[in-house]
Amino acid sequence: MQSAPPAPKTHTEILRDLGRPARREAQATLSEVFAETVIDAAPVGFVLARLGPVGKPILWIQDRLSRRETGRPYLAGLPEGTEILHIEVSRPIDALWAMEEGLRCPSLGAVIGEVWGDPAVLDFTATKRLALRAEAHRVPAWLIRRAASAGLSAARDRWRVKSLPALPEPDDLRAPGAPLWQAERFRSRWSRTGTWVARPEATGLVLEHGIAANEAPALQQRA
C-alpha cells in the first residue's frame, strides 16, 4: 500500500490562511484552559462543548496527579459516540511528548492534555511546538491546567473557566439542570478577550453575554 499523507502546511501558508477571518474560527490550534478550583470539572465540559461533535477518536492524556485528584474521564457522561484513547503518564515531559505525537496523526479528532501545576518543561517553547504542530496538521489541541499559574505560553487562546449555578430543571425546581460556566478569555491571539457565560448546546458551545449579564442566572435562581 504505497500512498503518501498530504504534506503538512508551511508556516507561511498557515499565516496566509489566518489572514482570512472566515478561516480563523475553523482553524485547529492550541488552547489552554485554567481551572479556578482543582475539583471543578467545568473546564472538561467546556473543552468538550467547544470541540463539538468530532466523530473521530480523542487522545486524552493525563499525568498521574491529575488522574488521582480529579478522576478519569467517564465514557457514559461524555457526549454520545465519543471514542477515547486514554494515556496515563507519570512525568509532564511524557505528557507533552505524547501530545506532540498525537498531533501528528490526522486521524484524531482532538488531543486533550491535563497537566498538573507548573512543571518547568511546560514553557513557551513547548507550547509553541504544540501550537505549530496542531496548526500544521489541523488537529485541535487543548491543555487543561489545574493548580497552575498563567505564565508565559504560546497558546493562541487562554481561558479561565469555573462553574456557575446551573439553570433550573424545568420539571423539578429543586434540581440543577443544564450546566452554566463562567468563561474568561484573558489572552487571545486573534479574538476578543472578555468574560462570558457559556452553555453547551447540541451544536457546540454558546457564549451568551458579557460581564454585565452574567449575574442573571444566579439572580433568577435566588428569586
Partner 1 sequence: MTQAGKLPLPSAPTTPAHRPSGARPQWRAGSELPDRGEAPPPQLTRRITAIHLPRFAMERWQRALARRGDAPPEDIPQALATEGPHGPVIHATNRAAEEAGISAGARVVDMRALCPELRVDYADLAGDRAALERLVLWARRWCPWTAADLSAPAPAAGGVAGLVMDTTGSDHLMGGEAAMLRAMEEQLSTLGISASPATAPTHGAAWALARYAPPRGLCPPEALAQVVAPLPVAALRLAPQTVLLLQRLGLGRIGDLTAVPRISLARRFSRAPLAENPLLRLDQMMGRLAEPVSAGEDPPRFAVQSRLAEPVQDPTAWLPELCRELCGGLAAAGFGARRLTVSVYRTDGEVSSVSAATARASRDPDHLCRLFEGRLERIDPGFGFDLITLAAPVVEDLRTIQTRLDRREDDGAELARLIDRLAARLGPGALRRPDPAPSHIPERAEAWAAAMGHPKPATGSTPAAPRPLRLLYPPEELRVLYAVPEGPPAQFVWRRLTHRVARFAGPERIAPEWWRDRPGARLRDYYRVEDQSGRRFWIFREGILGDGRGHEPAWFLHGVFG
Q: Is 97 in the site for partner 1 (CB under 8 A)?
A: yes
**CA dist., res. 110 & res. 133, Å (int):** 12
Q: Is 151 in the site for partner 1 (CB under 8 A)?
A: no
**CA dist., res. 205 & res. 184, Å (int):** 14
Q: Which of 71, 65, 49, 57 is nearest to 202 (CA)?
A: 49
Task: Take residue 166 and report the three cell numbers written for it.
Answer: 446551573
Using the rule CB under 8 A, which residue among 179, 184, 185, 205 binds partner 1?
A: 179
Q: Is 46 in the site for partner 1 (CB under 8 A)?
A: yes
Stretch that binds partner 1, among 9-17, 40-48, 148-156, 207-215 (CB under 8 A): 40-48
Task: Take residue 124 and report the three cell numbers written for it.
Answer: 513557551
Task: Take residue 16 and report the three cell numbers written for it.
Answer: 496566509
Q: Cell 486573534 belongs to which residue?
A: 190
Stretch that binds partner 1, among 21-29, 84-92, 122-130, 185-193 (CB under 8 A): 84-92
Q: Is 164 in the site for partner 1 (CB under 8 A)?
A: yes
Report the SS3 class of residue 219.
Answer: helix
Binding site for partner 1 (CB under 8 A): 1, 3-6, 37, 39-42, 44-46, 48, 56-57, 59, 70-78, 80, 83-89, 94, 97-98, 101-102, 104-108, 162-166, 169, 172, 174-176, 179-181, 200
